[in-house]
Amino acid sequence: MSPDSRHLLEVDQLSTTFATPHGLLPAVSEVSFTLQEDETIGIVGESGSGKTVLARTIMGLQPMTNIQVEGSVLINGFQVVGASDPEKRKHWGTDVAMVFQDPMTSLNPVMRIGKQIDETLRVRLGMSRQSAKARAIELLTLVGIPSSTERYDAFPGELSGGMRQRVVIATALACSPKLLLADEPTTGLDVTIQAQILNLLGELQQRLHMSVVLITHDLGVVATRTSRLIVMYAGRVVEIGETRDIFAHHRMPYTRALLDSSPRISNPSHTRLLAIPGRPPNLLNLPNGCSFAPRCSFATDQCHNERPPLTPSSEPGHSFACWNPLPISTRSEMS
């Protein structure tokens, strides 16, 4: 990025806490990062690590009841935290849009796909019915849907999973957003279709000059598609830095565990995957120290009793939260 590139997204000490019948649940705790124009950042972690809650909080989609959001989220200068729904709607679609995990729950099953894109264009941009239809067909073509004029009148159930996800992407891109949040955009798709969807997102980002936050549990997805990487565990950032640096010089044992549990092409067929021992922590009853300590073979008494802060590494922009970090000579490349 050029030195004068400005931050399109600024997240500062963001925390999201849910009030449940069993007590307060800190789903996201004190997360901070920035994203520049035309940049792609990856957010990785196991299920329950807070990735989706973080994305929805950035978008401003969290319900107003039984939830407390603290900190700051600036998108193109607009403060999301504390804004009213009407204020946020002015920025949805144009400044920020989101691709959700499951296209069947993102699309109205009884509404033709073209009409669903039309609705976005007519409501957000004030287009006429005719202009919106023409633009919707153009968008369907842009995301690689064949025979887009005919597909315009199809229902979601008439399309494959990969085609439905392309429709969701077309809808998200309808108003040319500056920032796209992609939450597990390839969940439930086979490997070939996954690659097609991820390649499509990369091509569209370059063509439309978007910034992208790519959320996934799969480190292989972010290895070559992001410039920086955030590793989350129990709602907190435990490692952050340039993607290549984290793969080559990761310091947090949890990051190593994620890498070791990923399948590799170089392994012989039927090689058993390494599972991370233990279970993710109960967010309603987090340990006093490092949340990963009960599952970590490097943990000491200090790890169990004191929460480690994010500590800068020797590499610029690389920080990790660990009292006993892995040696800097650590290597783990994705095949």
| Spatial separation of the C-alpha atoms in residues 79 and 84, rounded to whole Å | 10
Query: What pLDDT does residue 2 have?
Result: 39
Pick out the chain residues at pLDDT < 50: 1-5, 330, 333-335
pLDDT at 1: 38
Give the 3-state secondary structure of residue 177.
Answer: coil
57-66 burial: b if 16+ Cβ within 10 Å, else e: bbbbebeeee
Which residue shows structure tokens 């429709």?
Answer: 167
End-to-end CA distance of the chain: 27
Q: How crowded is residue 9: how many other Cβ atoms within 10 Å of its Cβ?
A: 24
The 10s digit of each residue's pLDDT in 107-126 is: 999 999 999 999 989 988 89
Give the C-alpha separation, 183 to 100, whole Å. Answer: 5
Q: CA nearest 20: which of 290, 309, 283?
A: 283
Which two structure tokens, joined as six digits, stand for 68? Answer: 């407390």
Mean pLDDT estimate for the chain = 90
- The answer to whether residues 42 and 222 touch, using CB atoms and an 8 Å cutoff, is yes
Q: How far is CA 287 from the centre of its chain?
A: 26
